A and B are shown apart, each in its own frame.
Chain A
Amino acid sequence: MDVKEPREKAGSDGSELGQTARHMRAAEPYVSAVWKLVGGAVVGVLGGYWLDKKLGTQPWLMLVLSLVGICVGFYGFLREMARLGKRK
């Protein structure tokens, strides 16, 4: 049951990994970038709606927070893309 292989440097790029694992790991930053873009808007709208209901300020907080959410989502997305660009 024990796998005692020497720690290989070559393994750090995932050469011993299966094809699915390598593809998933390669795709992960892109998935996370898209999630940031969408999630920012979703969290902004839902958070604003909830706060509006709580404080009775319809519809202002929802409008403001959805704008902020969309902007933060875009910012996160562009940052991730820039980081991926640098990595290449």
Chain B
Amino acid sequence: MRKAMVLFASLFVATAWASDSSGGHGEGHEPSVPEYILHHVSDTNDFELEVPLSQPIHLGAIPPLRIGNCAPRQTEHGLETPSGWGGLAEGCLDLSVTKHTVMMWLAALLLLGTVLVWSNRDKTKLVPRGTGANLIEMLVLFVRDELAIKNIGKEDGPRYVPYLLTAFFFILFMNLLGLVPWMATATGNLAVTAGLAVCTFIVTQAAGIRAAGLGGYLKHLTGGVHPLLWIIMIPVEVLGLFTKPFALTMRLFANMLAGHIVLFFLIGLIFILGHPAVAVVSVPFAFAIYLLELFVAFVQAYVFTLLSALFIGMAVATGHHHDEHGHAEGGASHDHGKAHA
């Protein structure tokens, strides 16, 4: 235990040192603490290792991969290649491999490795053996029983367990990788969380269509109003569909980013206040926040999976609701009382 504490403490000191030595990043310009933090949490094409007492080691950038109209254009800062949203508007799709992309690959590989090694594939053995296999079994059972079945239902829940498990473990691995020194948190990137939310969105809509049938699903989009009013009601309902994945995107992104920024700022306090003695307070605080972040990594994976299961469950329930009574308005067709008794 004491060894582990010493290791953690030295890692923090190393990080603090690294940020001190990287002061000479740009010639003559010393980056301020906020600039430094933003540089660390943002996504770049350059994967760099900041080793204490030396300049950052660049692991080499994979050249940007761009599709479409990506010719460099003349701006006031010289020649610039369009990228990001602005580039997309000009028809340039930037598919470059970035730091966060590498982290996602790593998370996927680790996920495949650990789960394949630890999953109990021997059907003759009912009980998993070993700590790893037990841990995986515990998490899998938790996602199945507490998330899928409790939020989607006994009947439809098991069908969505594979998706929920994938989302849970993938997010968990990305969150945990972000806590390893010199790595990055891919879930602290809006594009990554949006991508995950899009997956949940697709599964939710598929679940809705599966439960209600395509006709029932489309009927629900019309809001049950007169066809003349569809021109307004259909956009309203379609916009309503996007509120849930939007919440999913922002929540995961903001939580993961905020934790890391707090951690960096606590270390950065040493440089803001400009005295080594501040480390006596800020390093233990940063250590506490780091331990909290370990917990948050699990909580965020859990919450994303829980919300995905809730949304899928709601879509399935709406579908069954259609099944039982259609979307007809006439009072005669309403035997809701029975169905909800």
Contacts and interface: CB of A to CB of B under 8 A. Distances in A.
Contact of A14 (B153, B309, B310, B334): B153
Contacts of B58: none
Interface in B284-341: 306, 309-310, 313-314, 317-318, 320, 329, 331, 334, 336-337, 339-341
A73 B334 CA distance: 24
Interface in A10-30: 11-14, 16-18, 20-21, 24-25, 28
A79 B236 CA distance: 15
Contact of A87 (B155, B239, B310, B334): B334
A14 to B, nearest CB: 7
A43 B235 contact: yes
Contacts of B158: 1-3
B154 A40 contact: no
Contacts of B203: none
A21 B240 contact: no
Given A3-B158, A11-B154, A39 B310 contact: no
A24 B313 CA distance: 10
Interface string B223-246: 111000100110111011001000
B224 A47 contact: no
B217 to A, nearest CB: 15
B150 A76 contact: no
B239 A39 contact: yes
A46 to B, nearest CB: 9
B151 interface: yes
A69 B314 CA distance: 27
Given A24-B314, A75-B229, A8 B154 contact: yes
A63 B310 CA distance: 39
Given A25-B313, A87-B340, A43 B149 contact: no
A21 B316 CA distance: 12
Given A5-B154, A25-B317, A72 B149 contact: no
A20 B310 contact: yes
User: Chain B contact residues: over half helix, strand or loop, or mixed?
Assistant: helix
Given A13-B340, A40-B232, A21 B157 contact: no
Interface string A38-76: 011011100100000000000000000000110011011
B260 interface: no
A24 B334 CA distance: 22
B144 interface: yes
Given A21-B151, A24-B310, A24-B314, A32 B239 contact: no
A35 B338 CA distance: 28
A79 B317 CA distance: 20
Centre residue among A25, A35, A47 by max chain B CB count within 10 A = A25
A75 B144 CA distance: 41
Q: List the 8 closest A-B pairs by CB distance, nearest first.
A: A18-B150, A39-B236, A21-B151, A72-B232, A87-B336, A43-B235, A3-B158, A35-B240
13 contacts: A12-B320, A16-B153, A18-B146, A20-B151, A25-B317, A28-B314, A36-B240, A40-B232, A40-B233, A72-B225, A72-B236, A75-B225, A76-B225
